């Protein structure tokens, strides 16, 4: 009798385990497109992606040098294909046009270099743990260690990888990647966690905590939480050609080249901060912690704006009397970044780099002009200007 009881109990346990296993498999099948998130926070990188951070703020997390001077000039073979990334130590991560991936120390010396199977389609992304994510024009995600060893190569399910590609790090340790309207979320090992199709071609991809924000080129704003689909939040009702940025629960964007707007993510309402039909506003904008911003006006001036959108300062990027119109036509527009003190560095095709200090004083760095400048890159002791031709210039505090 006891043997029968024990056998019955054993059978019951086995049946229970089998049922639990079936339930787990069913749950796994149902959750194949769900995200299981462990938040690890932002990484320490100073320039983790094209917009410097996942909010696309174009704001350095550390102050710029207060009295900068030109102290480094380097030319890299193979050119530079995208804006460099920079880790917390000041090492630059460079994708070349060849295609190739390199790491440079803060003196411009190559630490390692690796060939890529195809050209990078977006700027390098530094994940929370310092790993380097490269998305290629063959729709592949390549993951490299800090030391340059490739640790993963994964195919991405993009129907047309030639479309504009954007990538940002997530606070769960992975990344978001979008090509046109097709979005994937990757984990820290570059494996796909979920896929989504957005309402239109994406012009900006933003992350805040566990929330992901997509802004289409036509101004539609969608949001997804850690789990679940993207949902429509609101619309800027116009073209957002230079992307958007996020801060304090709002998405900021230059719309139709002459409006500076803010969309409240809680309500979907859009507020007008500034409009100037007679001028052309362009970005990407650099956001100040105070709520203000720095914009580009008429592709030749830095315009600092207060929280309410009012202009507080306008400075020509080129030196007085310099002609930039012929050089700027057909080129990439001017690019700028700010810091925690609301100082600004700006670059523009054909003109020397510009520094606007927090007090409004201006300095230009002779000999730093090129026809194809990329977004300035902050490092612990300098700001680096890079050009597609392979030129690198660094400005930092004066040496004793």
The reported pLDDT for the residue numbered 399 is 64
Cα–Cα distance, 250 to 202 (Å, whole number): 18
**Mean pLDDT throughout 278-284?**
93
Other beta carbons within 10 angstroms of residue 119's beta carbon come to 17
The mean per-residue pLDDT over the stretch 40-62 comes to 93
Q: Which of 14, 54, 15 is nearest to 244 (CA)?
A: 54
Query: Reduced to 3 states, what is the DSSP secondary structure of residue 11?
Result: helix
- pLDDT at position 293 is 98
Res 335: pLDDT = 96
CA distance 95 to 98: 9
Give pLDDT, residue 117: 96
- pLDDT for res 291: 96
| Model pLDDT, residue 10 | 42
Q: Which residue has the higher pLDDT, 317 or 324?
A: 317
| Sign of the alpha-carbon torsion through 46, 48, 52, 55 | negative
What's the DSSP call for residue 82? S
Torsions phi, psi for 170 (to 5 deg):
-105, 160
The Cα–Cα gap between 304 and 342 comes to 9
Beta carbons within 8 Å of 22's beta carbon, 6+ residues apart: none
The span from the CA of 328 to the CA of 353, in Å, is: 14
Average pLDDT of 30-40? 47
The 3-state DSSP class for residue 385 equals: strand
pLDDT at 7 over 70: no
The confidence band for 38, taking pLDDT boundaries of 50, 70 and 90, is low
pLDDT in tens, 120-163: 999 999 999 999 999 999 999 999 999 999 999 999 999 988 88
Would the pLDDT of 11 be above 60?
Answer: no
CA angle 320, 324, 327 (to 5 degrees): 160
Which CATH number is 44-397 given? 2.130.10.10
For the question of whether the overall pTM of this predicted structure is more than 0.85, the answer is yes
Read off the pLDDT band of 255 (50, 70, 90).
Answer: very high
**pLDDT value at residue 39:** 57
Helix then strand then coil, in percent of the chain rounded to 5, is 10, 45, 50
pLDDT at 308: 96
């Amino acid at each position: 009798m006891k043997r029968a009881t024990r056998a019955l109990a054993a059978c019951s346990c086995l049946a229970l385990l089998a049922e639990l296993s079936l339930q787990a498999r069913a749950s796994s099948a149902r959750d194949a497109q769900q995200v299981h998130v462990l938040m690890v926070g932002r990484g320490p990188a100073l320039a983790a992606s094209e917009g410097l951070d996942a909010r696309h703020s174009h704001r350095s997390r550390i102050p710029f040098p207060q009295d900068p001077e030109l102290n480094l000039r380097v030319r890299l073979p193979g050119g530079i294909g995208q804006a460099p990334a920079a880790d917390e130590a000041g090492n630059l991560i460079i994708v070349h046009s060849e295609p190739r991936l390199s790491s440079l120390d803060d003196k411009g010396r190559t630490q390692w270099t690796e060939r890529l199977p195809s050209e990078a389609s977006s700027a390098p992304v530094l994940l929370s743990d310092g790993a380097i994510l490269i998305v290629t024009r063959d729709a592949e995600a390549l993951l490299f260690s800090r030391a340059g060893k490739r640790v993963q190569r994964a195919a991405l399910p993009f129907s047309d990888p030639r479309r504009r590609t954007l990538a940002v790090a997530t606070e769960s340790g992975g990344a978001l990647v979008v090509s046109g309207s097709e979005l994937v979320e990757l984990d820290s090992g570059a494996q796909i966690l979920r896929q989504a199709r957005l309402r239109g071609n994406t012009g900006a991809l933003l992350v805040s905590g566990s929330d992901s924000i997509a802004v289409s080129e036509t101004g539609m704003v969608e949001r997804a939480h850690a789990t679940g689909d993207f949902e429509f939040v609101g619309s800027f009702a116009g073209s957002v050609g230079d992307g958007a940025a996020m801060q304090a629960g709002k998405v900021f964007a230059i719309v139709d080249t002459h409006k500076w707007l803010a969309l409240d993510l809680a309500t979907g309402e859009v507020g007008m901060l500034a409009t100037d039909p007679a001028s052309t506003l362009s970005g990407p904008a650099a956001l100040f912690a105070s709520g203000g911003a720095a914009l580009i006006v008429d592709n030749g001036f830095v315009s600092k704006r207060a929280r309410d959108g009012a202009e507080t300062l306008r400075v020509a990027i080129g030196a007085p009397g310099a002609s930039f119109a012929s050089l700027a036509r057909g080129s990439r527009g001017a690019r700028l970044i700010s810091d925690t003190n609301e100082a600004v560095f700006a670059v523009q095709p054909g003109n020397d780099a510009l520094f606007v200090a927090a007090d409004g004083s201006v300095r230009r760095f002779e000999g730093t002009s090129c026809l194809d400048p990329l977004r300035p890159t902050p490092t612990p002791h300098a700001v680096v200007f890079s050009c597609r031709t392979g030129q690198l210039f660094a400005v930092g505090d004066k040496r004793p």
